[in-house]
Amino acid sequence: MDGYALITGASQGLGRELALQLASRGMNTVLAALPGENLADVCGRCRDCGTRSECFELDLTDRGQLTDFVSEVNSKYELSVLVNNAGTGGSRKFDEVPLAYIDTIMKLNVLATTLLTRGLLPNLRRNVPSRILNISSLAALIPTGYKTVYPASKAYVKHFSLGMREELGRFGISVSLALLGPMPTKQEIRERIARQGLLGRMLSVSPAEAARACIEGMLGGKRIIVPGGMNRLSYGLLKLVPEPLKSKLMSRSVLRNEIGA
């Protein structure tokens, strides 16, 4: 393939798997991640697949860096795929977190996703049919205490993605939304899944499996992608449970298993 796929948060976890699996399918890649996260290694492995790959180390929460990145990508690379994967969150008490913690979640999960999509849209429109994959979470479906602004930020990604799908489809741009469950990536996440016991293990999906489902769904033009059989079952069940009940149950679970109170 002559076009490029741009993947944010590509140095580890799901982003790394998305980059490697797209490269294994013959797609060139533009990879972005924070400095000091061995992004060059991922880039090298993509090139080992016989594809072109370029890496950019930057902080997407910095408006100046993000703007410069968009300008450079638009001037040098023809994009046919955009994967907004970079995101952050955690389990904390709202009144105990520093404002910088909240600011980072909102800037990365909400603002960076929005600004990258807007800035790279002319590029994607030049190379239709093209695709956008936005990574959200099943947490977007459940207002949850003790997760600060994370569920709200992922709910934004959900509504933004589905709205853009309706708006951009007529231009030949397919937008897909991925709703992810627990994924054992960082050590703190693995520990959190372990504390959730059997349920956490049943819902857990490896980054490789999730990436495969996301790529196949994106290339197939799916509207919503939910990797993992148990997560798809949960997605269906969550539609049936009244919001106050699922909100209360999930908030209690986070308090007990993740906050430890």
Q: Is 222 exposed, middle or buried (0-12, 13-18, 19+ CB in 10 A)?
A: middle
Looking at residue 256, its pLDDT comes to 87
List the chain pLDDT tens, one digit each, 261 residues: 579 999 999 999 999 999 999 999 999 999 999 999 999 999 999 999 999 999 999 999 999 999 999 999 999 999 999 999 999 999 999 999 999 999 999 999 999 999 999 999 999 999 999 999 999 999 999 999 999 999 999 999 999 999 999 999 999 999 999 999 877 666 565 555 555 555 555 567 899 999 999 999 999 999 999 999 989 998 999 999 999 999 999 999 889 888 876
Looking at residue 113, its pLDDT comes to 98
* DSSP labels, 114-138: HHHHHHHHHHHHHT-SEEEEEEEEG
What residues are annotated to the active site?
150
Dihedrals φ, ψ of 146, to 5°? Answer: 70, 15
Looking at residue 224, its pLDDT comes to 98
Token code pair at residue 65: 């860096």
Looking at residue 187, its pLDDT comes to 54
Domain assignment of residue 181, given as a range: 4-259
What SS3 state is found at 8?
strand
Give the domain CATH number at 166: 3.40.50.720
Select from 77, 35, 74 the least CA-distant residue to 52: 77
The number of distinct structural domains making up the chain is 1
Asked if 143 and 238 count as a contact pair (C-beta separation under 8 A), the reply is: no
